[in-house]
Amino acid sequence: MTVDHQAGLTIVTLFPRLLDTNGDAANARVLAQRARWAGLPARIVLVHTIADLPDAVDLVVIGSGTDTDLAAARDALGTLAEPLRAWLAGGVPVLAVGTGWELLSAGLGLADGSSVDGLGLVPGRASVLPARVADDLVVDADGLRLLGFENHLRGYSGATATLGAVAYGTGNGDGTEGAVDGSFIGTHLHGPVLARNPQLADRMLGLASAARGLTLAPSAQTESVDGMAKAARNQVAVRLSLTS
């Protein structure tokens, strides 16, 4: 059967030149490839200005940046405040990592005691931790064990809900990690997080597919890759002396 390309998924990654410090823009490639393996055409649109936005968006990825680029990244994201608000209200799956997530919040603190206003699109605020965190991060999240690494100066509070409980690492700084608000996910997990945790990618793809009346079906390729990702997660769990 020939699949109509128009029935495929459009995945946008926002400002990858500013927000890709830890390779998190690659989460878009993970989503696209897993969609293709499941028989769904998918394309990635790199959005550097509002003019790059496609007519329809099915999934959104926002990576992390450096504190030196915070003002530039906030101003860039600000040009897309209305589309972002519409995507969030419309249930479009949005994954934001690190500062890309923090800039969508009410605001974030800086090491010198000052703060930067966020766009106020998601509940919560990022506050400075006693010291920078750079280590493995393991999160138990609604039946999934998510692994990655964290490299951040700020924790987070005031989220509607969190991604899960921290089994190892710091996360938000209060025993929880991330933020969830409807179809929005914010996290400190790098890796990229969707490459190391493909089940989370499939949850996002499942939401986007269902919204378009499409079916996401696992393939032999996804099962093979999932097995490798699981083995890598198990190795980390053993190294950290974590039980499954």
Dump pLDDT digits (tens) for 44-77.
Answer: 999 999 999 999 999 999 999 999 999 999 999 9
Residues at the binding site for substrate are 132
Residues at the binding site are 132
Q: Rounded CA gap, 36 and 218, in Å?
A: 10
Range name among 2-6, 24-28, 89-93, 219-223 with the lowest pLDDT average: 2-6
Residue 4: per-residue pLDDT:
41
Q: Which residues of 90-127 are buried (b: 16+ CB within 10 A; e: fewer)?
A: eebbbbbbbbbbbbbbbbbbeeeeeebebbebbbbbbb
As separate numbers, helices (DSSP H) first and strands (DSSP E) second, the chain gives: 7, 12
Reported confidence tier of residue 233, pLDDT bands at 50, 70, 90: confident
Reported confidence tier of residue 235, pLDDT bands at 50, 70, 90: confident
If you classify domain 5-239 with CATH, what class do you get? alpha beta
Largest CA distance in the chain: 60
Count of C-beta atoms within a 10 Å radius of residue 142: 12
Residue 162: is its pLDDT beyond 80? Answer: yes
Q: Rounded CA gap, 232 and 145, in Å?
A: 12
Residue 159: per-residue pLDDT:
98
Chain Cα centroid distance, residue 1: 33
Residue 148: is its pLDDT beyond 50? Answer: yes
Q: Is 190 considered catalytic here?
A: yes
Q: Rounded CA gap, 4 and 148, in Å?
A: 36
The closest of 25, 56, 29, 55 to 44, measured between CA atoms, is 29
Q: Rounded CA gap, 36 and 39, in Å?
A: 5
Percent of the chain with pLDDT over 90: 82
Q: Alpha carbon of 235 to those of 34, 84, 140, 163, 240: distances in Å? A: 23, 37, 16, 22, 9
Enter the pTM of the model: 0.93
Strands (E) in the chain, as ranges, are 9-14, 42-47, 59-62, 94-97, 107-109, 115-117, 125-141, 144-157, 164-168, 176-177, 179-181, 184-187
Reported confidence tier of residue 219, pLDDT bands at 50, 70, 90: confident
For range 226-240, the mean pLDDT: 79
Percent of the chain with pLDDT over 70: 96
Residue 230: per-residue pLDDT:
77
For range 190-212, the mean pLDDT: 94
Reported confidence tier of residue 244, pLDDT bands at 50, 70, 90: low
Residue 1: is its pLDDT beyond 70? Answer: no
Identified catalytic residue from 5, 152, 188, 190: 190
Task: Name every residue whose Cβ is closer than 8 Å to that of residue 179 and which is 6 or more positions away in sequence.
Answer: 101, 105, 122, 123, 124, 156, 159, 160, 161, 162, 163, 185, 186, 187
